[in-house]
Chains A and B, each alone.
Chain A
């Protein structure tokens, strides 16, 4: 089925290419993507490519990007970074030096992003990334921009909200995957929880790829905390942990701070994930959801088998941000585009017109001013509890 689709796409691509060459006027700007397309992170990578292509399709159909009187079409070029630095380097070399790409529309995974960044900043290429942490941002990296909310944006809004909902909760146990996301999230979360006045009983890590969560659930339940926070755990892992916890008889406040979606967590957790709070998931039920959001989400579900999440959406927003910045700079030179990026605004997939901020946290304006969406699983559905529009500098 997929093979057929690829064939169709290829035929379509060739046809469109021929039309392009007949028209002659449209030139193409390639946008590179460095994402995992195999292994455990494949579903994130595939959704990201889907969203990039979706944004590109919309933009091209609306006439493309107009710079200096010349209309350009966008094109997404994605390579598999396998979530490690070595393959991230290969991808970076291929995108920058083989494809000659000047704009990275999105990149996923801290280690491969660092590998990418060591080339992009040197070669003057603009980089959008979902990666977290101070080590990839700030004045040292003037060409790097962040396309999704990270724990630094999410947690200071999410944690006090939860604490307010559960004034009796006094103790906390944390569990994170032993990967870059887990380590980064843990560092921020530990601090924010303690600032909120919650006592941290333990903070543990598990290996990515673990399928058996009974032993760690036994450990967590034995501590008997009021709150269990699974931080940066992938949704499916989080669901499995909550299911084992329920089997042992633990019940309390459940949090997956950067939990990205309800599908994975429900798939493994079943009823045990009722009441889980998440900070990076997007709800597609309710009156405020637009037709456009619903339509894209349905397409994504058919294509990748999961609802869209904040990671995927970052790859849509970054393309619109690039369009806005190119038109504002009236240039397709990465450095000139990057220079105006902090000042531009664009319409995010979430619906509002936003710009960039982050000077207080990172030292440069490079973070999309995305709303922080607090969601909870209620009666098996992901429900939006609140939406905070950050107002910092």
Chain B
């Protein structure tokens, strides 16, 4: 497949989705659209760090940092909404630079499990911070009233914009260094690249997106609690990536749409919801190792091959 940006397709896709979101009037559908957009953004952020070959479980922590920053800015300091949204991303990126600089020297399972530990530690810190509402959570994180009818469009636009930016970076020359590091770090180092710098940059960009996803989460839900940002959040994001397919950026989006919509129905299963989600993940990784998009590509190749044979 050509490695071009395919901008017209992207633009058309984004425009169609945002246009459709304008038609949403049912509040329940609106809430699901919001959830899907946020989930897609988190999943794309997680996949972005997978480009350098690392599984970033600290994603959950950065979503939380974004959410709590936006929550604090809006409810404690009463700053304007726009600043609140950006500050979530900036705070997450800032923390991620320090965290990444310290931890990205480790690799593979070590990095994965440190991210896990970091997520849990940060969650406990929120729960002990009474200024942030402790375990009961932080309440009253409302967007301006004028935004209310436009929330799905607003949330989807921000998510689409960030996903698009991540896509452009991935396809740029800088983005190609990421995959070069993943494929062989030593080779990348011998050509004179500062590996740690590139890794931290990739990590910080992804964390900015995760932080903004957290900001969106906070203003959509109006209430946040430490329990929202446990490692399960990253586990679900990983499920979106894996079910959708990790080979290209469409995969996590497809996975997020599929699982969040199915999950909204599974909510009615009560305690059985875990069984449903777990079974979906297990079956997906066993039966479609390339995810849904991988399956579709295979299907297309198969059909095209047959078409060709018929033409002969």
Contacts and interface: CB of A to CB of B under 8 A. Distances in A.
Partners in one complex: yes
B223 interface: yes
13 contacts: A80-B267, A86-B225, A93-B32, A94-B268, A97-B27, A111-B225, A114-B136, A115-B137, A118-B223, A178-B135, A180-B134, A180-B137, A183-B134
Interface stretch (B2-10, B83-91, B157-165, B269-277): B269-277
Contacts of B274: 38
B227 A82 contact: yes
Given A80-B271, A183-B134, 13 more contacts: A79-B268, A79-B270, A83-B227, A84-B227, A85-B137, A85-B228, A86-B227, A93-B28, A115-B225, A118-B140, A118-B223, A178-B135, A205-B128
Interface string A83-98: 1111111110110111
B271 A135 contact: no
B92 interface: no
B224 interface: yes
B28 A97 contact: yes
Q: How large is the interface on A (under 10, 10 to 19, 20 to 34, 35 or more residues)?
A: 35 or more
B223 A115 contact: yes
Given A183-B135, A183-B136, A88 B223 contact: yes
A86 B228 contact: yes
A42 B272 CA distance: 11
Interface string A24-50: 000000000000011000100110010
B47 interface: no
Judged by DSSP, the binding face of A is helix
A115 to B, nearest CB: 4
Given A38-B274, A97-B31, A115 B221 contact: yes
A78 B273 CA distance: 13
Interface of A: 37-38, 42, 45-46, 49, 78-80, 82-91, 93-94, 96-98, 110-112, 114-115, 118, 133, 135, 178-180, 182-184, 205, 207
A84 B225 CA distance: 6
A254 to B, nearest CB: 25
Contacts of A184: 136
Given A118-B222, A179-B127, A111 B31 contact: no
Given A93-B31, A179-B135, A180-B136, A42 B221 contact: no
Nearest to B28: A97
B217 interface: yes
B26 interface: yes
Given A114-B223, A115-B221, A115-B222, A38 B273 contact: yes
A90 B267 contact: yes
B28 A86 contact: no
A180 B28 contact: no
Nearest to A207: B124
Interface string B100-142: 0000000000000000000000001001101000111101100
Given A97-B31, A111-B223, A178-B128, A78 B270 contact: yes
B264 interface: yes
Contacts of B136: 110-111, 114, 133, 135, 180, 183-184
Nearest to B38: A86
B139 A118 contact: yes
A90 B227 CA distance: 14
B267 A79 contact: yes
A80 B267 CA distance: 7
A96 B274 CA distance: 23
Interface in B6-48: 26-28, 31-32, 35
B271 A42 contact: yes
B78 to A, nearest CB: 18
A123 to B, nearest CB: 8
Contacts of B226: 84
A88 B228 CA distance: 10
A90 B242 CA distance: 23
Contacts of B264: 90, 94
B152 to A, nearest CB: 12
A5 B130 CA distance: 44
A3 to B, nearest CB: 10
Nearest to A88: B223
Contact of B28 (A94, A115, A182, A183): A94
Contact of B267 (A94, A118, A133, A178): A94
A29 to B, nearest CB: 19
Contacts of A111: 135-137, 223, 225, 227
A85 B221 contact: yes
A98 B29 CA distance: 8
Nearest to B227: A84
A89 B124 contact: no
Contacts of A135: 136, 139
Nearest to B135: A180
A45 B273 CA distance: 14
Nearest to A90: B267
The 9 A-B pairs with the shortest beta carbon distances in the complex, nearest first, are A84-B227, A111-B225, A97-B28, A85-B225, A86-B228, A37-B271, A93-B31, A180-B135, A115-B223
A80 B274 CA distance: 10
B11 to A, nearest CB: 31
Nearest to B30: A97
A98 B28 contact: yes
B231 to A, nearest CB: 13
Contacts of A42: 271
